[in-house]
Chain A
Amino acid sequence: MTFHISRRTLLAGSTATAATLALPRGARAEGPLKVAYVYVGPIGDHGYSYSHDQGRKAVEVKFADRVKVTYVENVAEGPDSERVIRQLATAGNDLVFATSFGFMNPTIRVAKQFPKVKFEHATGYQKASNVAIYNARFYEGRAVIGTIAGLMSKTGVAGYVASFPIPEVVMGINAFTLAARKVRPDMKVKVIWLNTWYDPGKEADAAKALMDGGADVLVQHVDSPATMQVAESRGAYAFGQASDMARFAPKAHLTALVNDWAPYYLERVKQALDGSWQSGDVWWGLKEGMVKLAPYNPALPENVRAAADKVKADITSGALHPFTGPIKDQKGSLRLADGQRIGDADLLKMDWFVEGVQS
């Protein structure tokens, strides 16, 4: 954008100022709203960063000229992320989405120095007056794929390619296992930890090792389609992560746990545009459409579809909570009595595994 100072623009400027006065407090009067996204992985990961980038594109399509959107991909969690976030704030962005857990402390630090910039941090727990937090109830979708896995497995062993043992991932493994054991009580879930979100080579090795250990259904909480490809080539089933991965594994791909960030991003950008943006704390799931399931594989039998649809519908309506007792832990001792539900606060710091998880 170039600035030409002339009588005309000066006049236009003063009308803009007048318009500002008429608008509600905090509303923006001139120029597009500058929105920025920070991704931990490459947008081509077909997983987590890709799904956020799909949300970004939806914002660009919907608001067109009213927004100017930038993104920075492959930003390492830690000190580099603080510099990137600060650079985005310095470059005049009004709304910054930091989309990975490791950006939390950096975001909070930068937000203190830029009180007028609005920040949004995904999957963390620290808020501020200009830092909102948002996350998706991935575990709800994992209960649906757990049901499918339990019904489709012949060996009774599922293989789980996992990233880091943080609550997010732990509760996903537990929701999957509980749902699978509901339809197949002897189901076992073997977990391999990779200590990375994105490393196709390691992901493929883990998938192979899990299959060698007897797993015939693979699940992943890492971001590349490598696990899908291993399942396809070796005749197992698998579930896509974060986006529909059917094209990588047409036979193996039963469905995918799709993250749809677009509804949230559209709403927050709209609020920033009309001046009603406020810090908040959002944890949306199947009901709000932040978590979705990709179309089922055509080969999926009718009874399995029906069972999966039922779990999905019951979670959406609130009739079913994936963490309803009785729940036993790995040692077999009762952690949750019959009929009780685990509350959000306890879910968000979950650090124990349910019975059937081999980790």
Chain B
Amino acid sequence: MLLRIEPRPEVSRPFTCATPAIAMLLTVASGWLLFLALGLAPGETLYQFLVSPLLTLNGLAELGVKAAPLVLIGVGLAIGFRANVWNIGAEGQLTIGAIAAGWVALAFWGQEGLWILPAMCVAGMLGGLAYAAIPAFLKTRFDVNEILTSLMLTYVANLVLSVLVFGPWKDPDGFNFPQTKLFSESAILPILVEGTRLHLGALVALGVAVAAWLLLSRTVVGFQIEVVGQAPAAARFAGFSGKRTVWLTMLLGGALAGLAGTFEAAGPIGQLIPKLTPGYGFTAIIVAFLGRLHPLGIVVAALVMALSYIGGENAQVTASLPQAATGVFQGMLLFYLLASDFLVRYRVRLLAAERKLVTAS
């Protein structure tokens, strides 16, 4: 049997809007069966997974804490993906950004000043930007595939961080454990809602998403990125430089990842430790596509992703759902979301006619 996947001639607008809801329904239905098979109360487990984190102030705040880095990185990556620039190494750019910001925090440790946090943000963005410049340079100068270089530089970044926290930056009063001193008060992000961990970085992430949306929809630069991505030949005729676009999108993505790293170190962590994130740089790639590469879509996608993590923990805590089952449920959610999104734009056709032809010959 031959299958062919082809773009739908016309994408149904109502369906485009309805797919997230359809995917959600399918996830809930499959989850119901999964939890039933595990011998858990399906209604209660689904409630703990998808609803209960949204009912408390702290739950909502945690959603923001978890989504903020995903939004920052996802927006940066999406701009590149739109231009066919595949930066897979946001995790490394995040790490170098956090290191740069941490360097400022440690250099001025114990000092007070409103300038310390902004300085850390600038350092973090420059760090991420500089690290993204390496694959950008290799791509534009030697035409080296940026997927490989940016990915592999992630491992290098993690080792650089390890060298620092196991070595010169180790807290002298920390019993030789691999961590820096806790940052002093001036190097810690202000909390937005008292009693929670929701920090200023979440607000900044939202602002960045709106700015990116304006950049893409209202400016010539945004138009260039779009054209270079969708029609490279047309872009050349129009005089838009592919190389310039690579540089622009890589550096932007790197800077935003660096900023995300800064916010993690100066926010919920408050110091540098050997493992800064549970892989936000990679999760953000999924988030970018889940949000259809649209900055505002990415905000929604990041919140959904955050809910799936926090709900998973919640279901473990309150409904004794095994950790592997939370992973399966998350996987189903992503699968249905991405699959329905795909099927709205493409259709799968059985090619019976061609098969006959093959048999005849």
Contacts and interface: CB of A to CB of B under 8 A. Distances in A.
A36 B317 contact: yes
B71 to A, nearest CB: 16
Contact of A70 (B176, B277, B317): B317
B323 A348 contact: no
B199 to A, nearest CB: 11
B58 A72 contact: no
A166 B178 contact: yes
Nearest to B195: A113
A76 B309 CA distance: 12
A102 B176 contact: no
Nearest to B322: A73
Contacts, number: 83
A84 B324 CA distance: 16
B271 interface: yes
Contact of B269 (A71, A78, A90, A164): A78
Contacts of B182: 105
A88 B177 CA distance: 26
A84 B65 contact: no
A296 interface: no
A87 B274 contact: no
Nearest to A39: B323
Contacts of B273: 77-78, 102
A91 interface: yes
B317 A82 contact: no
Nearest to A44: B324
Contacts of A325: none
A80 B197 CA distance: 11
A87 B313 contact: yes
Name the residue among B273, B275, B314, B317 with the largest chain A CB count within 10 angstroms.
B317
A13 interface: no
For the side of the interface on A, what is the size category?
A: 35 or more
B323 A167 contact: no
A195 B166 CA distance: 11
Given A78-B278, A87-B317, A349 B175 contact: yes
B79 interface: no
A195 B176 contact: no
B232 interface: no
B289 to A, nearest CB: 23
A79 interface: yes
A91 B318 contact: yes
Interface string B267-299: 111110111111000000000000000000000
A42 B274 contact: no
Interface in A86-105: 86-88, 90-91, 101-102, 105
A343 B175 CA distance: 14
Contacts of B66: 83
A267 interface: no
Contacts of B277: 78
A309 interface: no
B177 A79 contact: no
Contact of B175 (A72, A78, A125): A125
Contacts of B177: 101, 125, 166-167
A105 B271 contact: yes
Interface in B34-52: none
A269 B355 CA distance: 70
A48 B182 CA distance: 28
Interface string B59-86: 0001001100000000000000000000
Given A82-B197, A82-B268, A91-B317, A77 B176 contact: no
A28 to B, nearest CB: 20
Given A73-B323, A167-B177, A80 B317 contact: no
B275 A78 contact: yes
A87 B162 contact: no
Interface in A195-222: 195
Contact of B274 (A70, A164, A167, A350): A164
Name the residue among B62, B175, B195, B276 with the largest chain A CB count within 10 angstroms.
B175
Nearest to A123: B177
B313 A84 contact: yes
B72 to A, nearest CB: 15
A289 interface: no
Contacts of B178: 164-166
B310 A348 contact: no
Contacts of A88: 317
Interface in A179-209: 195
A48 to B, nearest CB: 16
B323 A84 contact: no
A90 B162 CA distance: 34
Contact of A72 (B166, B268, B310, B317): B317
Given A72-B323, A83-B313, 10 more contacts: A42-B323, A78-B278, A80-B278, A80-B309, A80-B313, A83-B66, A87-B313, A105-B182, A166-B178, A167-B176
Interface of B: 56, 58, 62, 65-66, 162, 166, 175-178, 182, 195, 197, 264, 267-271, 273-278, 309-310, 313-314, 316-318, 320, 323-324
30 contacts: A36-B317, A42-B324, A70-B317, A70-B318, A71-B316, A72-B316, A73-B323, A76-B278, A78-B275, A78-B276, A78-B277, A78-B278, A79-B268, A79-B269, A80-B278, A80-B309, A83-B65, A83-B197, A87-B313, A90-B56, A105-B182, A105-B270, A125-B177, A164-B166, A166-B176, A166-B178, A167-B175, A167-B176, A167-B177, A195-B162
Interface of A: 36, 42, 70-80, 82-84, 86-88, 90-91, 101-102, 105, 113, 125, 164-167, 170, 195, 348-351
* Smallest CB-CB A-B distances: 7 pairs: A79-B268, A76-B278, A349-B175, A351-B176, A73-B323, A349-B176, A72-B316
